[in-house]
Amino acid sequence: MSTPEFRPAPLLGNPHLQSILSSHRLRQWLRRRELAALNGSSRHTLLDCGDGVRLQGWYTPATSTDPRGLVVLLHGWEGSARSNYMLSTALALRNAGFAVFRLEFRDHGDGQHLNEGLFHSGRIGEVVGAVGDVARRWPVGPLMVAGFSLGGNFALRVGLHAEAAGLDLRHIAAVCPAIDPANVLRAMETGPWFYHYYFMQKWRRSLRRKQAAFPQRYRLDELLRRLNMRQLTEALVLREGEFASLDDYFNSYSIAGERLSRLPVPASILTSADDPVIPFDDFRNLQLPDHVRLLVTPNGGHCGFLENWRLGSWAERFVVDACSRA
């Protein structure tokens, strides 16, 4: 564990300011011309993820005829392929010579209609399947996966399943990955109220879209009105019938303790000691192989790492550097 050279601008070191500004629409406005060019060169694609599951995403080719590789980007919970960090990181990777695919998880963005079953974080198989489909469609060089928050958790779990799935995965980059889901939920419940409010608003909106897409299956209005995050999580995962309890669900996607000790793929993990969403103590007990590096900054908030008041993120350079190691 070491501290890289990340130094936020004066007055920009507060973790809540970092976390909130990183998701603010001002970031896209400041880079609107570059992002317009990125979006203009990106192609919407429906992926075959196996077992009838379809996920959507956007492929952006490299600017050169000799790409340095292909990076699949994974967003966080209730994020999307259009989240600030996904767009800015895709832009940084493309400028560095990589092709990029921004994958969208089940029921995120506007994809609630694509699959009848609800999203939950135990659905690693379909994400592995999506990465495999991307690799088959665009064999343009070494394959990497990079993820943020819950997407970082998924990225590391893709690495655990890569060999069995026949994926030649060369490197993983994970920014503020969720380590122990039970502790993440506890942090949301006991931390500043606005994080719980922010995520619940986005989740309720997504679930209402799911209900509208499959009205014959879902009647969620009463649950959405009266349940908090813990209660709603438990009610929905038990309804899907794959888990015996909330703890059983959390255990299905935890990467805490020794779970990453057998990770066969080289990886780079970035987190901040002041992350208000992902408890830093969860990183202290990780058992990591020698080919996995963990970088910790004193500041950065949750997926922020904003360096300046133009809201450029050091995490983008971290991901580019990690992918360049393949």
Per-residue pLDDT of 17-69, as tens digits, reads 999 999 998 888 988 999 999 999 999 999 999 999 999 999 999 998 889 99
Domains and CATH numbers, the chain: 15-185+254-323 (3.40.50.1820)
- Per-residue pLDDT tens for 260-306? 999 999 999 999 999 999 999 999 999 999 999 999 999 999 999 99
- Grouping H, G, I as helix, E, B as strand and the rest as coil, residue 235 is helix
Q: Among 165, 142, 159, 132, which residue's Cα sits nearest to residue 93? A: 142
Q: Going by C-beta distance under 8 Å and a sequence separation of 6 or more, which residues neighbour residue 17?
A: 301
Whether the per-residue pLDDT at 325 is higher than 70: the answer is yes
- Grouping H, G, I as helix, E, B as strand and the rest as coil, residue 103 is strand
Q: 136 falls in which pLDDT band (50, 70, 90)?
A: very high
pLDDT reported for residue 2: 44
pTM for the whole thing? 0.96
Q: 4 falls in which pLDDT band (50, 70, 90)?
A: low
Helix ranges, the chain (H)? 15-22, 26-30, 32-40, 84-95, 124-137, 150-165, 181-190, 193-213, 221-226, 229-240, 246-253, 281-284, 314-323
| Active site amino acids | 149, 275, 302
Please provide the average confidence, as pLDDT, over all residues in the chain.
95
Q: Are 188 and 229 in contact (CB under 8 A)?
A: yes
- Per-residue pLDDT tens for 141-162? 999 999 999 999 999 999 999 9
Cα–Cα distance, 23 to 38 (Å, whole number): 19
